[in-house]
Every structure is written in C-alpha cells, then in structure tokens.
Amino acid sequence: MPDAYILGIESSCDETAAAVVRSGEQLVSNVVASQIATHQPYGGVVPELASREHLRAIVPVVNQALAEAKHTYDSIDAIAVTQGPGLAGALLVGISYAKALAFALDKPLIAVNHLEGHIHAVLLDRSQNREPQIGNCELQFPVLALVVSGGHTHLYLATQNRDSWTYENIGHTRDDAAGEAFDKVAKLLGLGYPGGPVIDRLSTHGDSKAVKFASAQIKHPDRRGRKDGRRVSAASGHPRFDFSYSGIKTAILRHVETHNMRNAIEKRRKALSQIAKLKLEDYLANCDGQTLDLVASFQRAIVDDLVEKTLAAAQAYESATLFVTGGVAANQELRQTFEREAAQQGLPVFFPSRPLSTDNAAMIAAAAYPKFLAKHFAPMDFSAEAGMVLK
C-alpha cells in the first residue's frame, strides 16, 4: 500500500492546530497555536474569543504545518478536519477552511470525531516519543479507551472490523469532566488557568493523604437500575462505569471556607497575576503547606477514581488492551498509577506522548487514515456537530 499523507486540522476548543501524518502513524509535522493567554484572564475558554483567534491563526498554522512537513497543498493526499464535539463557532472555522482547501485542490475531505482523534493519538509516532508506545507490536482488541480531558470523561470499548473502528460507550461523567474539575479547583485556589498542568506539578510537593474526601463526593448516587450490585445500562443491560466530579469541587470549596483559606487565596491570585511567565518556583513561593496538601489530595482522589473504575470496566468487558488519552492523560501521577495497577492486572496500557495527549491535529489526521482507506469521505455540505457522539 503506498504511503498516504493526510493534512489534519483541529479547531474544536482553544487550540488552532494543523499537522501532516503519514499513513495514520508517523508524525511528519505538528503545529499547535494555543489560545491560553487569550482566555487566561477569564479563567476558562470564552467561545466568541476562541472563534476570533481561530480565524486569525488558521492560515498561518496550516502553512507552517505544510512547510515543516516539506509538503505543499498539492502533495498531500487528503484533508481531515474535526467535525465535533466542541464549540460550534470554533469548529466552523476549521471546517470552512478544510472545505475550501478540499474544493480548490480537488482532494478528499474527511470529517473526524474529536474523541476518536484522542483515541488514535495513542497510535502516533514512536520516533519523537520516548514514552511507551505500541510500536510495531500487534494491537489486541477489544481496546478499552479512557478519554479524559477538559470537556470529556468517557470510557469506550473499541473493536476493529477490517480497518474501521467502532465504539461502544460504557461509561461517562454524569456532571463535570475530570479536566474541568482540575480547572475549577485551580481557579478556586487562585492558581490560574488551565489547572491540570499546575496541579500536576504542585502535587508532588504536598501530602496526598492529608485531606480525605468521602467516597460519596466522587460517587454520584446512581439513578439507573442495578443488577447484582452493579450499575447497568437501562437500554442494554450491560454494566456501566460512570464518573462524577462536581462533588469533589464542592468539598474543596467547603474545605477552603472551614480552614479560613480565602485571604491567602486572594493574595496568591494577585501575586501570580503580576508575573508574566509563571514558573514552578513562583507557584511554590505563593503556596503554603496547607494548599499543597489540599492540591495533592485532590489529585490523588481523582486519579484513584479514574484508575479504579477503568480497571473494573476492563475486567468486566474483558478488554485486551487499555488506552488512556486526552489532556488529563498528560498527568504524571495518573500515568504512573495506571502503569502500576494495569500491570498487576496483566493489562497492557498505552498513552500518547505527553504533547499529543492534549488537543492537536495529528490525532485528527491519524483517526482519518482508516476512513481514507475505506473511502469514507465527507460531503461538501457537512457541518459542525457541537454535541457529536462517538459510535
């Protein structure tokens, strides 16, 4: 089979990204223009600002991805773009540009689900990553994929039929996504946006056993039926493994109030907002032991819950391989805990490299490859699907 070079475009949230990937696995170029600085003052992504920033960045980002790949518009084989889920206005910028390119260049256009992109990020490139990748070993199905990011916490059981992948959702968050909890807790503690990376780095400086969270704070009272004490889907009768992260955020808020942490938080918020490029030392200089312990305990609780439910699901569904992906999969403690616990269960676990865990376009080009082979091309009138589900 000749090599296929796919140009991927991703604009579902706050990163404008473009990449060229060879035959679904080899990263040829990967450009990500982050909007963090634009959204930071608001403590979260502002949809209108995101669309405006995508409009500014899309042309230079795509040009840079092609130039770094030593490709031209003519030499690529197909154009892949994120259809959803995501912010409608943000998605439309990438989709409109991809359609225009495909039309003008007479190249196939492939629409990709962002969540499928996160899953296929695991398959990407070995040469650039020193972290454990699948390499050339045969992938065993069914694959259980935990997609854990700022907008999503989903468990998918993935199977493969010829080249095409199909997915069954066997669990998701009932309220906040895990990354959203990281972001909200960081905001609450005056640590800025996004919360995940800073909590990840600060956690090693605190005692993760210092603050105990009641299990009810991360276990949503189940509203669906139970069978032998296990949650089951009302429709299929299969076990479900749902998550809930809004309770722990409320528990942290209560902890802040009862431990009189408000003044220290406001002082920290002000101090950190005056530093242009924040380093770990700046955060540490502005965090007392009580805050570091709280942050470490919060991270431990989230990690334990994600690992426990995912491994229980892997057992219940007899999955042969585990993928852990999405922005939160960049978390060091999450990776270490999954590696340790999955090994005990004899389950091979794979992650994308840390840069490919968060949003990027290489994952979109990778997920497009099986569709390219199957000639599953998108019609010119397809549109953004903000609430798109993965099947």
- Residue 8 within binding range of ligand KG4, rule CB under 6 A: no
Q: Which of 84, 94, 190, 196 binds ligand KG4 (CB under 6 A)?
A: 196
The DSSP output letter for 49 is H
- Considering the complex, state which of residue 51 and residue 331 has its C-beta at the smaller distance from ligand KG4: 331
Judged by CB under 6 A, the chain residues 334 through 373 that form the site for ligand KG4 are 358-359
- Considering the complex, state which of residue 15 and residue 372 has its C-beta at the smaller distance from ligand KG4: 15
Q: Least distance (Å) from Zn ion to the CB of residue 325?
A: 9
Q: Least distance (Å) from ligand KG4 to the CB of residue 194?
A: 4
Residues that bind Zn ion (CB under 5 A): 149, 359
Residue 194 touches which member of ligand KG4, Zn ion, none, C-beta under 5-8 Å by kind: ligand KG4
Nearest to 311 by CA among 300, 301, 321: 321
- Number of alpha helices (DSSP H) and beta strands (DSSP E) in the chain: 13, 12
The answer to whether 365 touches 337, Cβ cutoff 8 Å, is no
User: What residues contact residue 56 under an 8 Å CB cut-off, 6+ apart?
Assistant: none
**70: its two tokens:** 């030593």
The answer to whether 108 touches 372, Cβ cutoff 8 Å, is yes
Q: Least distance (Å) from ligand KG4 to the CB of residue 98?
A: 19
- Residue 24 within binding range of ligand KG4, rule CB under 6 A: no
Give the amino acid at 290. Q
Q: Least distance (Å) from Zn ion to the CB of residue 330?
A: 11
- Residue 85 within binding range of ligand KG4, rule CB under 6 A: no
Q: Which of 327, 352, 363, 366 binds ligand KG4 (CB under 6 A)?
A: 327
Q: How many CA atoms lie within 13 A of 67 on its CB side?
A: 7
The answer to whether 222 touches 229, Cβ cutoff 8 Å, is no
Judged by CB under 6 A, the chain residues 199 through 228 that form the site for ligand KG4 are 200
User: What residues contact residue 146 under an 8 Å CB cut-off, 6+ apart?
Assistant: 153, 154, 155, 306, 310, 322, 323, 324, 325, 326, 329
- Residue 84 within binding range of ligand KG4, rule CB under 6 A: no
For the purposes of burial, counting CB atoms within 10 Å of the CB of 140, is it exposed (0-12), middle (13-18) or buried (19 or more)?
Answer: exposed
Q: Which of 94, 326, 352, 370 binds ligand KG4 (CB under 6 A)?
A: 326
Q: Which of 176, 183, 242, 305 binds ligand KG4 (CB under 6 A)?
A: 183
Q: Which of 82, 310, 321, 331 binds ligand KG4 (CB under 6 A)?
A: 331
Q: Which of 97, 167, 182, 338 binds ligand KG4 (CB under 6 A)?
A: 182
- Considering the complex, state which of residue 153 and residue 310 has its C-beta at the smaller distance from Zn ion: 153
- Considering the complex, state which of residue 62 and residue 119 has its C-beta at the smaller distance from ligand KG4: 119
- Residue 247 within binding range of ligand KG4, rule CB under 6 A: no
Supply φ then ψ for residue 348, to 5 degrees. Answer: -70, 130
Per DSSP, helices labelled H in the chain are: 36-39, 47-68, 88-105, 114-120, 178-188, 195-203, 246-258, 262-273, 280-285, 289-316, 332-344, 354-357, 362-373
Judged by CB under 6 A, the chain residues 131 through 150 that form the site for ligand KG4 are 149-150
Q: Least distance (Å) from ligand KG4 to the CB of residue 215?
A: 21
Supply φ then ψ for residue 202, to 5 degrees. Answer: -75, -30
Residues that bind ligand KG4 (CB under 6 A): 13, 149-151, 179, 182-183, 194-197, 200, 326-328, 330-331, 358-359
